[in-house]
Amino acid sequence: MTLPPRGRLSGGYLLAALVAVILVGGQLTSCSAVRNGFQARSGPVILRAAGSALEAAKTFEIQADSTTSGRPVSLTFEIGGPNVGEGSFVSSGLSFEAEELRGLDYFRSRTLWAQVGGTSLQSALGYRWVYVPAKSSTAAELTAAFRSLTSPAVLAGQLTGRVASAVRGRATTFRGRPVVAVTEPGGGTVYVATTGKPYPLRWVQSSQSRVTFSRFGRDFRITAPKGALNLTAILAS
């Protein structure tokens, strides 16, 4: 790389230099990733390790895509720990954002309220955040429903539900990272990282259902939306 003349170090040059450093750093990190040895282990051992790594990470992001009755459904959710998470749900004709924060559930949508209470409710709420009070029975039901998303332990249990019969498959890559495929009869195929920690990176449950795991150990800083309205009080009025 040729340095610019002294006294003419421009912002553009600094940006280009920064990008170069990031790219070189990324290449070094990628090339120096250490194999973890799981590519040669048995299916049950690999899958148990993947479940343990997922649970130990405590925080991560999941992206799920499926097809229900011929209609595509997608979900993106950041898990910040037990009963803490936020994300979005999208299907044909319906989409909403949701947040679970230790028993308090928040929602925001441009389409959901019309289906719950008609156009008048949609007009009243618009695209504002609402919450369901923690003491209500609805909140308890919602927290139970979100548990499969916001509990690393529950997700790990689902991932390893048929671990005893898991069979190791071929080594391949997922998004440029070396992985090994492990198939659970009736439970789909899990692609487990063979460098670094044995995280599950991809879970193909069927031809119409896939889950991707990423951003392990991130601090998502999930906080309550400001100015959220009490949905229970609004519906009761």
What is the C-alpha to C-alpha distance for residues 39 and 180, in angstroms, rounded to an integer? 6
Beta 130-132 vs 229-230: how paired, if at all? parallel
What is the pTM assigned to this prediction? 0.80
The domains of the chain are located at 38-236
- Two tokens, residue 152: 């690393």
Assigned CATH class of 38-236: mainly beta
62 forms beta bridges with 77, 213
What is the C-alpha to C-alpha distance for residues 14 and 6, in angstroms, rounded to an integer? 13
Per-residue pLDDT of the chain (237 residues; tens, 9 = 90+): 443 343 443 444 444 444 443 344 433 334 347 999 999 999 999 999 999 999 999 999 999 999 877 889 999 999 998 889 999 999 888 899 999 998 889 999 988 888 878 888 888 899 999 998 878 777 788 878 887 788 899 999 999 998 999 999 999 999 999 999 999 988 899 999 999 999 999 999 988 899 999 999 999 999 999 999 998 888 887
Predicted local confidence at residue 76, as pLDDT? 96
Predicted local confidence at residue 27, as pLDDT? 38
What burial class does residue 55 get, using C-beta atoms within 10 Å of its C-beta: 0-12 exposed, 13-18 middle, 19+ buried?
middle
Residue with tokens 């299916």, as numbered in its chain? 43
Predicted local confidence at residue 231, as pLDDT? 87
Predicted local confidence at residue 150, as pLDDT? 86
Predicted local confidence at residue 229, as pLDDT? 93
Alpha helices for 6-136 (secondary structure H) = 11-31, 43-57, 112-125
3-class SS of residue 185: coil
What is the C-alpha to C-alpha distance for residues 200 and 204, in angstroms, rounded to an integer? 11
- Two tokens, residue 132: 């369901």
- Two tokens, residue 61: 């992001």
